[in-house]
Structure 1
Amino acid sequence: MNALTAITGARIFDGDLWHDDSALLFEDGRIAGIVGEREVPAAARTVAMAGLSLVPGFIDLQVNGGGGVLLNERPDIDGIRAICAAHARFGTTALLPTLITDTPDVTEAAIDAGVKARRSGVPGFLGLHLEGPHLSLARKGAHDPQFIRPMEQADLDRTVAACAQLDVLLMTLAPENVTNEQIAALAAAGVIVSLGHSDTGYATAAAAIEAGARMATHLFNAMSPLSHREPGLVGAVLDLGHVHAGLIADGYHVDPAAIGVALRAKRGPGRIFLVTDAMAPLGTDMTGFRLNGREIFRKDGRLTLADGTLAGADTDMMACVRFMHRHVGLDLDEALRMASLYPAEAIGMTGRKGRLTHGHDADFAALDASLSVAATWIGGRPAFAA
């Protein structure tokens, strides 16, 4: 049992509105409410955060690594714990460690680690994202082609079994290597199916979405583009309203003008939300690392293979929010929602995540005037302090 706690002195964004001269109350890991500072119960433990802004904790649905750890290279509970801790420094309070296309053995190990992380209550662990191996060779990006293959019954059975043991299981796949019947079976089992690394046309993408896919992975990147005669996967994602889409806002993966066009074009209720696609170097001074035996180079804010192919991103969620606000021109409120409320909507967890209102998880970040993270709390407990 965690005692009733009140954060005082800070401006509070509850996900919809800002509150001044107010205090955030939480107890036993859940938000108890927002009250005027003069209405704080006498029995509450108070924590002063004068001059800071409290915002809902960020939710990152695509995190390959961080803190020097890559899930593919360390698919165990300690690796997951290290990745979650690294991202907490940047305001992320819930994330999906993401396995890039790999062998069945590594996939099994990552699933086992995820199940253990859930049972152990690793702070920040939300579930798993399996990005591959059922992708398109034509849009493989940095995924190792030797491991890309069609989905077989054993893959389907493994994924369905894993979903039953996790709160969230997201799988990125391409219609080229998966049947609509397999997509329907995954969706029926609770797997969140995301289309990505695909060269599919609009009609095929629409059929996969009709079968049960409800998301798209890193919009614009590694997918068939929008053209005037073939709208491609990009066109399907923007046109079909119930599809949500992740977006890497680091200034390298998508031009700010293209981001603005996508935001104006996207039909709802599905939203575009932020992801980092972060790799092992996040939060470190590493100059490179290895993925599936290949060297990845870190330079000038980019991570690339030797041929220049982007290999994940060298960014964090707070940086993505700043980019959307300062370079794309979004109001700060909306940029914050793209990092918290909208990913919660995409995975159907708005009852617990994405807002600082009664009954929601006490996951929040404290930001300073420069929009840097001063502190992060997960489940009502401090996870990071600058």
Structure 2
Amino acid sequence: MSTTRIIIGARIFDGDDYQDGADLIVEAGRVKAISPRNAAFREAEIVDASGLLLVPGFIDLQVNGGGGTLFNEEPTLDGIRQICSAHARFGTTALLPTLITDTREVRTAAINAALEAKAAEVPGFLGLHLEGPHISLACKGAHDPALIRPMDKADLDEMLTCITALGCLMVTLAPENATKEQVLALANAGVVVSLGHTDTSFEIACGYAKAGARTVTHLFNAMSGLGHREPGLVGAALAIGTLGVGLIADGFHVDPAAMGIALRAKEGRGQIFLVTDAMSTIGTDITRLHLNGREILRKGGRLTLADGTLAGADIDMLSSVRFVHEKLGLSIAEAIRMATAHPADAMGIANQKGRLIAGADADFLLLTPELQLQSTWIGGLKAFEAPITSGEKPCGRA
């Protein structure tokens, strides 16, 4: 069978612009070109996508779970496979399984599982996100305070040891429990350092950005707010041009008005990108789950601890894209950029993911004009196809 496939008839958005009147040519799992068909490809397999929108696959840099699996509870290769498979049903073609603050033993298991997933080329697996334990007690959110601690040499060495084989590693930390020297060492090794769960000042955040921090974790949540005399981490996230900024767009973590203000205020080349912060509920009808021995309840689109603290999110990436398009009035193109090109830029993988350019991975989606998912493709292979009978909606919240 030919390794060349041509998707015809769709309106193509390549991650930056629309490419009208052209087809997507895929060869050996990568984008060969976006161009009209020609005789050189007459032996290719043809996929008719007439009337659909073809866009890059979504990239989610903060995914705690999915399909009934929470990464903290199952830090294994099988756990990663389940999470990636669950999110492919909602348009995510590359994700970072995210480990919330846990014990040293669980973190080591998570790193080992991520290395196995990388070696096994699990479809949809991008790398690993370690969210804690080196965060601030004052801004712990749903993280177990008993497990929060400063970064030590063993922690640093473990992360530096795995980054080469892993390729993509994001670490959320707070200046309260990690030094600028540690941030510099991580950044120099290629780790994407993200500031989050911190009560730090604007000035200190600027210093950590200069030391190598590249992103900010879930803007507005679990961080020092924007004040008129102390801009805090929110102010730093918006004012420092080099910082990419994650945003949970479920309508519960951040009010839509605040989202709009942030989008209008963001400076520099660093962009605001969507993250789901999804838990194990995605793709299931479960109503309860556990994290570090504590029960999390699912109700009305929210996930909370018993005291009402938000504990992750109950939203998928396609629903997030639709939210910012419908509630914030963003164009479909910009809403899609927030889930594709912007997170790729934040991770430094713009030549591989997030855009349909020659040589990039052939990760793409076919969507209806109403932004319903028809199919998900990872590495040029169909990973999910929505059912066409029974009247079920093929995407959105479970």
Fold in common (TM above 0.5): yes
Distance (Å, rounded) in 2 between the aligned partners of 1:45 and 1:21: 19
Structure 2 Cα separation of the partners of residues 15 and 66 of structure 1: 26
- Per-residue deviation, residues 45-72 of structure 1 (Å, max 9, x unmatched): 1011222111000000000000000000
Deviation at 1:12, TM superposition (A): 1.0
TM-score, length basis structure 1? 0.98
Aligned partner of 1:375: which letter?
Answer: S
How big is each residue's C-alpha offset from its partner over 1:303-335, in whole Å with a ceiling of 9 and x where there is no partner? 000111000000011011001100011111011
Within 2, Cα distance between the matches of 1:322 and 1:298?
21
Amino acid corresponding to residue 289 of structure 2 in structure 1: F
- For 1:254-265, list aligned pairs within 5 A: 254-265=254-265
Partner of 1:64: 64
Q: What CA distance in whole angstroms lies between the structure 1 residues aligned with 2:72 and 2:23?
A: 42
What residue in structure 2 maps to residue 154 of structure 1?
154
Give 2:183's aligned residue. 183
Q: Distance in 2 between matches of 1:39 and 1:199?
A: 61
Once the 2 structures are TM-superposed, how far is the Cα of residue 19 of structure 1 from its aligned partner? 3.0
- Note if contact 1:6-1:40 (Cα within 8 Å) is conserved in structure 2: no
User: What secondary structure does 2:170 align onto?
Assistant: strand
Deviation at 1:21, TM superposition (A): 3.7
| Alpha-carbon distance in 2 for matches of 1:188, 1:13 | 34
Aligned twin of 2:376: 376
Give 1:9 shift. 2.0
For residues 50 and 322 of structure 1, what CA distance do their matches in structure 2 show? Answer: 22
Q: Which residue of 2 aligns with 1:356?
A: 356
**Cα deviation, residue 275, structure 1:** 0.4
CA RMSD of aligned residues (A): 1.2
Which residue of structure 1 lines up, in the alignment, with residue 137 of structure 2? 137
SS in 1 for 2:171: strand
* Residue 326 of structure 2: aligned partner: 326
How many residue pairs are counted as aligned between the two chains? Answer: 386
Q: Is the 8 A contact 2:324 2:330 kept in 1?
A: yes
How far off its partner does 1:6 sit? Answer: 0.6
Query: Pairwise mapping of residues 260-339 of structure 1 onto structure 2 (< 5 A)?
Result: 260-339=260-339
* Change beyond 3 A, Cα 1:26–1:210: same
Segments of structure 1 that go 5 or more residues without pairing to the other structure are none
CA–CA separation in structure 2 for the residues paired with 1:246 and 1:150: 23
Q: Alignment partner of 1:165: what SS?
A: helix
Cα distance in 2 for residues equivalent to 1:253 and 1:95: 20
Q: Which amino acid aligns with 1:303?
A: L
Q: Secondary structure at the match of 2:176?
A: helix
Q: CA deviation at 1:131?
A: 0.1
Equivalent positions of 1:56-135 (< 5 A) are 56-135=56-135
Give the TM-score taking structure 2 as reference length. 0.95
Q: Give 1:37 deviation, angstroms.
A: 5.2
**Cα deviation, residue 39, structure 1:** 6.6
Whether the aligned pair in 2 keeps the contact of 1:23 and 1:40 (CA below 8 Å) is: no
Q: How does 1:216-235 map to 2 (within 5 A)?
A: 216-235=216-235
Match of 1:172 in 2: 172
For 2:393, the equivalent position in structure 1 comes to: none
The answer (yes or no) to whether the contact 2:2–2:45 under 8 Å persists in 1 is no
Any idea what SS the aligned residue of 1:96 has? strand
In the TM superposition, residue 38 of structure 1 has moved relative to its aligned partner by 6.8
